[in-house]
Amino acid sequence: MQTLATILSVTSGFALMRYRLPPATILATSIVVDLALAPLTAIIAGRRGRRASVWAVAGVAFGIWSLAAVLLMRAAPSAHQPRTEPPAYPPTSHAA
């Protein structure tokens, strides 16, 4: 149980904070943190043109590290859609 607690404390980022509590507390807290970060990681990945389901699984498995990775990634090339019409210059108001 100590080994699993150590692994989960590394994946959730608690090892960096020198979070030292009993293994059961580390396990419970790490699981809650990883489960809370998974949807956030999936949403950000989806908005950047990546597969949200893959990043949700990565969020559960690797916690804060997958969130950091998806935040550092650029948007996928297919996520950029070219504009179909040029912008109207000068901008005009249609309220009048």
In a domain, 46, yes or no: yes
Provide the pLDDT confidence category of residue 53 given band limits of 50, 70 and 90: very high
Q: Is the pLDDT of residue 84 over 70?
A: no
Domain carrying residue 69: 2-75
Other residues' Cβ atoms within 10 Å of the Cβ of residue 46: 16
Q: Is the pLDDT of residue 4 over 70?
A: yes
In a domain, 91, yes or no: no
In a domain, 81, yes or no: no
In a domain, 90, yes or no: no
Residue with tokens 């912008």: 87
Give residue-wise pLDDT tens across range 7-48. Answer: 777 777 777 777 777 878 888 888 888 899 999 999 999 999
Long-range interactions of 85-89: CB distance < 8 A, separation 24+: none
Q: Is the pLDDT of residue 96 over 60?
A: no
Q: What is the mean pLDDT of residues 57-77?
A: 89
State the pLDDT at residue 82.
60
State how far the Cα of 7 lies from the Cα of 2, in Å rounded to an integer: 9
In a domain, 93, yes or no: no
Q: How many domains does the chain have?
A: 1
